[in-house]
Copies of this chain bind each other. A is one copy, B any other.
Amino acid sequence: MGYTDLDQLAVNTIRVLAVDATSKANSGHPGAPMGMAPVAHVLFNKFMNFNPKNPEWANRDRFVLSNGHGCMLQYALLHLFGYAISLDDLKNFRQLDSITPGHPEAHDTPGIEVTTGPLGQGFANAVGLAMAQAHTGGVFNKPGFDLFNNYTYMFFGDGCAMEGIASEAASMAGHLKLGNLIAIYDDNHISIDGDTKCAFTEDVMKRFEAYGWHTEWVKDGDNDLAGIEAAIRKCQQVTDKPSVIKLTTTIGFGSKLAGTGGVHGNPLKADDAQGVKKLFGFNPEESFAVPQQVYDMYHKHAAEGAAKEQEWNQLFEKYQSEHKTEGADLARRLSGKLPEGWEKKLPVYKPTDAAVASRKLSEACLEAIHDVVPELVSGSADLTGSNNTRWKNAVDFQPPDLGIGEWAGRYIRYGVREHAMAAVMNGLAAYGTIIPAGGTFLNFVSYAAGALRLSALSRVRAIHIATHDSIGLGEDGPTHQPIETLAHFRALPNCMVWRPADGNETSAAYYSAITSKHTPTVMALTRQNLPQLELSSLESALKGGYVAVDTPNAAITIVSTGSEVSIAIEAATYLQEKHGVAARVVSIPCFEVFDAQTKEYRLQVLPDGIPVLSVEALCTMGWERYSHEQFGLNRFGASGPYKEVYAKFEFTPEGISKRALATIDFYKGHTVRSPINRAFQQIL
């Protein structure tokens, strides 16, 4: 232990930097950094292994700031330890196009593991990172080769503690006995509305004990550096449980407003900021001052981290020669490459193949590729048998002593915890050795909206297997039938929504999801059987949209997705037979992928001169980009056998034909431009 004035100076340097950056930005949250600087100092300087020159080192300790609004704490630390964040970057805190935005964003800022700020997300990300360590260690560690043994440290505050997503993740972590996960709870008694006694009076530590966590309490988190160190050491010694340290701190320590909500989300007033500097022995007239000896101390620790990475690299080299197969697999995963030729295993279907539900087609993909894509880790939020997410010989990811799985297991039992599942998947993906897939009903992906948004924003590859994707689920009724859900996730930037119509389209969805390294995928899949289409192929589906029925001199194009494509094809026949009207049919299983094709191609699919009718048994919103008229369900569904539900809402060849005829009629005598033609480009 033996903490000196230098340690205190480092702590205060962090505090003052947070004051300066929020003051200069005239925006931001100084309170949490000022309160948590002591624990951050002890953790980063005494415990954490990392190399600022290579933030991607595979076995680095992970740090997650779940209370992401306190990000000046993290930015200050990253700067002081020598990550590629300059003092100018700190001065640009919260400014346009800086690498120090208002909340930490993983994709742009070196040393930020996951994107946090929306409360509770980082907590669940950290659980995912710790699961990833346990899994990756389980797969690759060998006697003498403890390649993956890093810790995941996470800070969270009262806000995170109140969020349901954190509760879900904490329960999971306790069940999974994640010994390398150490969380530090900033018990500062303040949230935005003031004293936590107004809304949050539960016994937080008792709750974590109920989840199966080890708990510690440091009563003077403002000053007791040795106590903090001792508590973290004790947590490290508990290897069969995640740990949480309740750290009682004073928010905004050093400010006149210390211990009040006033210092949470607003910069300090000028005189208060000066007072803080005086109190901590800094020149009140100077800003962004960093004593050289603080840099020196932190750079020394960073150099030790770099040396540890060197050792690890040597160990990994030896590993690669002694365990060739595993070594090659790991080296490949760390390089970000997929296994050569994996895609050849994806099932291919002929039109004469049997009709199959797309949830089963998805299962067939998992069955076919799980051997050749060993980084694929599947799971479900307690709907395994309905989501068809588990390949036959899958082993569960479980602590071995439970006797029902092992760390190397590749099937995660997420429990009924959709929101945590999605955020855990973000953590799994961020670790770097795993491609996570997780299932629930499409309707309940909405429970996870907050986490999916961050998948998209932080550009992680996470695959959401979303079955029971429409009124086609039938009897469970409107409480379970998605209506707005596809529009919601299609509206989310950098999120691919696939709704395959048959086997080849489902295989294409998997190809797209697995090869899109920086984009999450929602795969909307049916409960009911779907016939194999005549013109579908992996290649055409991978264009996001293609002509499924080509008819010369067509009077109308019907565009559709998933289960409605085959009904649209029947409608085309019906139109020809009953009305002598020629109709084309287009399948657009993925808007985002179709949008990325050349304009020339998109105009071939949706040509000028022919009016377009869209058909999808969910809300019509979003279809206007690809059609002139829209047939969908802008109301809630109904409980009943699914064919009757389809008939009630007229998703039948006849119902589609009626609207196709109305569309043809409406555009008669008008110049029809393809909806692909637009007046100007969108900002992307």
Q: Which residues of A contact B (CB under 8 A)?
A: 25, 27-28, 68, 94-98, 101-103, 105, 115-120, 158-160, 162-168, 171-172, 174-175, 191-193, 197-204, 206-207, 209-212, 380, 382-386, 396, 398, 402, 404, 413-417, 419-420, 443-444, 446-447, 449-450, 453-454, 456-457, 474-480, 483-484, 487-494, 619-622, 624-625, 628-629, 631-636, 638-641, 644-645, 648-650, 658-659, 662-663, 665-667, 670-671, 673, 677-680, 682-684
Contact = CB atoms under 8 A, between A and B. Distances in A.
B639 A94 contact: yes
B164 A164 contact: yes
Given A491-B483, A629-B679, A199 B172 contact: yes
Contacts of A204: 210
15 contacts: A27-B475, A96-B640, A101-B638, A118-B444, A118-B480, A162-B171, A162-B417, A163-B416, A174-B202, A175-B199, A209-B210, A453-B484, A457-B479, A624-B625, A631-B680
A192 B414 contact: no
Nearest to A398: B198
Given A475-B102, A487-B621, A670-B671, A493 B636 contact: yes
Most B CB atoms within 10 A — which of A456, A622, A659? A622
B447 A402 contact: no
Nearest to A194: B384
Contact of A679 (B119, B491, B659): B659
Contacts of A622: 487, 491, 621-622
A120 B640 CA distance: 24
B105 A192 contact: no
Contacts of A383: 192-193
Contacts of A483: 491-493
A475 B25 contact: yes
Contact of A450 (B98, B417, B447): B447
B477 A94 contact: yes
Nearest to A119: B416
A187 B314 CA distance: 52
A28 B384 CA distance: 18
A175 B199 CA distance: 6
Contacts of A206: 206, 209-210
Contacts of A494: 635-636
A174 B206 CA distance: 14
B443 A118 contact: yes
A454 B479 CA distance: 7
A494 B644 CA distance: 23
A162 B239 CA distance: 25
A128 B496 CA distance: 36
Given A159-B416, A162-B417, A488-B488, A683 B477 contact: no
A-B interface, 8 closest residue pairs, ranked by CB to CB distance from nearest: A164-B164, A624-B624, A96-B640, A101-B639, A666-B679, A199-B415, A167-B167, A484-B491
Nearest to A458: B479
Nearest to A650: B683
Contacts of A636: 456-457, 493-494
A612 B488 CA distance: 24
A638 to B, nearest CB: 6
A635 B456 CA distance: 10
A251 to B, nearest CB: 14
Given A95-B639, A629-B680, 10 more contacts: A163-B417, A191-B416, A193-B382, A419-B447, A446-B450, A446-B453, A456-B636, A484-B489, A491-B621, A494-B635
A198 B163 contact: no
Contacts of A380: 193
A163 B168 contact: yes
Nearest to A476: B102
A27 B473 CA distance: 11
Contacts of A175: 199-202
A680 to B, nearest CB: 4
Most B CB atoms within 10 A — which of A193, A198, A443, A479? A479
Nearest to A68: B479
A189 to B, nearest CB: 13
B384 A192 contact: yes
Contact of A97 (B160, B199, B624, B640): B640
B174 A168 contact: no
Contact of A102 (B117, B477, B632, B671): B477
Given A102-B475, A446-B450, A629-B678, A488 B484 contact: yes
A198 B447 contact: no
Contacts of A493: 483-484, 619, 634-636
A98 B402 CA distance: 46
Contact of A167 (B168, B197, B402, B680): B168
Nearest to A211: B202
A382 B162 CA distance: 10
A97 B202 contact: no
A404 B200 CA distance: 13
Contacts of A398: 198
